[in-house]
Amino acid sequence: MTATQPPDAAPPTAMTNRQILQAMSGLMAGMFVAILAGTVVANALPTIIADLGASQSAYTWVVTAELLAMTATVPLWGKLSDLFDKKLLLQLSLGMFVVGSLLAGLSQGVELLIFSRVVQGIGAGGLTALAQVVMAAIIPPRRLGKYAGIFGAVFAIGTVAGPLVGGVLVDTSWLGWRWCFFIGVPFALLAIALLQRTLRLPAVARREVKIDFLGAFLIVAGVCALLIWVTLAGNEFDWASWQTAALTGAGALLLVAAVFVESRTAEPVIPLGIFRNRTVALTTVASLLVGVAMFGGTVFLSQYFQVSLGKSPTVAGLMSLPMIFGLLVSSTVAGQVISRTGVWKRYLVTGAVVMTVGLGLLSTIDADTPFTLLSVYMAVLGIGVGMLMQNLVLAAQNDVPAGELGAATSVLSFFRSMGGTIGTSVLGAILASRVAAEMTKGFDAAGIPAGGDGGGESRVPDMSTLPEPVRNIVEHAYGVATADLFLVATPCALLALLTVVFIKEKPLKTTSGMERLAEESGAVKDTDKTVVGG
């Protein structure tokens, strides 16, 4: 006797371009909000940190806190999508973003600000994981490049708008930096409404899934221990000290325990078996390295513009346009060409080469670099990142069974965010140490007593309050230190290039994740029937 198939379980049909665009409107609005959260504070951070009287380490942690929370929760959001409605989860993640934004805007101290960024990061983790899972579910890989290009355009617009808006808000006396956080709230509420109206996903049969909270805890605790070490080492304690031994030892043991737990649980947060797929393994490594090079290398550019070049927050936002336009053009054009031709590997390799060159060029900057030359360097970096970052996800999604799309997407997002978190923390620690060394050297040469800058070597200085001789020393110190960050990031980009060279190009599939999942489920059922009938 054969049970009647419920209507919701009917095989999905391919969606038209109009239906896909309607479904993506809420996703794009949500991603715009997540991007805005990270970029709108870029030009405001020097002002925020100076206003709150915080240190360079706090500057790094305001950025790192969101990245860490996003990194840690991406796999959990992916696992929750097996249990609950994806649209509801997307709306919940946006709701958490709203709460975090309100807390950040009302912060009176750096501690609450960092906590609010953690809340924002949890929401961003949901958007990062679920948006790409939903895209893969409704769009075939052969057509995904075109829509990934649209997402690249949204990314570029959000990245352009964020620093500009943030700079204007900081420079407007009757608004101030707090509105850098409040301004994202209406966009988040709009995204929630659009998702409710436009996103229609077919109901799927849910299976019993247990969330591996122990594995998640071990991963987060291990990563946090290592991040605390790289952030505080060299400032609060020596690199060679018992604190270093304790934090690195604890971090390593926790991560080893996490691997042990993940390899034995039925529902791991990060399924280790997925790395048997060569494409997934290589794109994961490349994503980690791109995260280190991209996020770690560029997050401090705004500080360089304002401190080393002496620009206002608004002007600093305008100065980032060459890199964003390069990313916008390359991601959009590459996505359209990939969808038309089905060829994708050449864009990964070219993007990695161009990104490496861009970082290498930026490692030559200093406080006297002409803006014209700086613009060319930033544009080169943007072009490389635009061709590489999103197409790594496309390559992995194309080469896994539909039932593993969520896992593969979450793994890549996890490691890219992990790379960004590690890169920001490590390079932030290097920046703080290098700035302190250069300022000490400059003060000694000028005969200025140490600590006579009015801010202390460990604080982000308020340039408007510094006398001319001290300001010149500080500008030089931040120029030299920022160049060193790009020099450190360049080998990571080179390793990413070597990794993508070994990725094997495979034809892009022409059916969506929903259609493939229905086909795979049908094949399994037919096999079961054959075995039973035999």
What single-letter amino acid sits at 189?
L
Q: Which of 482, 484, 448, 492 is nearest to 466 (CA)?
A: 448
Any idea which fold 16-200+269-524 has? Growth Hormone; Chain: A; (1.20.1250)
DSSP 194-210: HHHHH------------
Q: How far apart are CA 440 and CA 449, in angstroms?
A: 9
**What residues have CB less than 8 Å from 111, skipping those under 6 apart?**
none
Q: Which of 136, 122, 125, 37 is nearest to 78 (CA)?
A: 125
pLDDT of 455 reads 42
| Secondary structure, 3-state, 23-73 | HHHHHHHHHHHHHHHHHCCCCCHHHHHHHHCCEHHHHHHHHHHHHHHHHHH
Neighbours of 131 (CB within 10 A): 23
**What residues have CB less than 8 Å from 322, skipping those under 6 apart?**
374, 375, 376, 378, 379, 382
- 3: DSSP letter: P
Residue-wise pLDDT tens digits, 357-381: 999 999 998 888 898 999 999 999 9
pLDDT of 249 reads 94
Neighbours of 265 (CB within 10 A): 15
pLDDT of 111 reads 85
Q: Are the beta carbons of 412 and 395 closer than 8 angstroms?
A: no
Helix (H, G, I), strand (E, B) or coil at 459: strand
pTM: 0.74
Kindly list the domain boundaries of the chain, sorted by start residue. Answer: 16-200+269-524, 212-268
Sign of the CA dihedral with 106 first, then 29, 37, and 474 last: negative
Regions of the chain with pLDDT less than 50: 1-11, 452-457, 524, 527-532, 534
Q: How far apart are CA 324 and CA 153, in angstroms?
A: 10
- Where do runs of H (alpha helix) occur along 399-467? 405-446
pLDDT of 512 reads 66
Containing H/E element for 293? helix 278-298
Q: Helix %, strand %, coil % for the chain, to 5?
A: 75, 0, 20
Residue-wise pLDDT tens digits, 121-138: 888 888 877 887 777 777
Measured between alpha carbons, how far apart are the two ends of the chain, in Å? Answer: 17
Q: Are the beta carbons of 478 and 307 closer than 8 angstroms?
A: yes
